[in-house]
Amino acid sequence: MSTDDKRIREFAYQIWESEGKPEGQETRHWEMARKLAEAEALAPKKAPKAAAKAPASKTTVSKSLNGKAEPKTKAKAKPAAASKVIPPGEKAAEKKPRAARKPSAL
């Protein structure tokens, strides 16, 4: 049995289980599985996301003018509220908390 046949068998079994294990649907499940296996074989191969990227860290090292390594932190995105500039002498508008809704009577 080739690896393609094994993969089709696995797909057909998963389809059969997902449909509640009905009887008499073998041909339909096998055809669906064959199409899935073909699509999988034709799909471009991608490296897993974790392995494709370099290890993520919050700091990077850059060399300064004196040759020593200095940690450099990445800039974080500012929250939307921080982008609003409040002129000096004015207070920021405070949001009032919402009152809890009463359950509707049926």
**Quick one: CA torsion of 50, 55, 56, 61, rounded to 10 degrees?**
-170
pLDDT-based confidence at residue 43 (cuts at 50, 70, 90) = confident
Taking the whole predicted model, whether its pTM rises above 0.75 is answered as no
Whether 21 has a pLDDT exceeding 80, the answer reads yes
**What is the pLDDT at residue 48?**
62
* Rounded Cα distance, 43 and 50, in Å: 20
For the chain, the average pLDDT equals 75
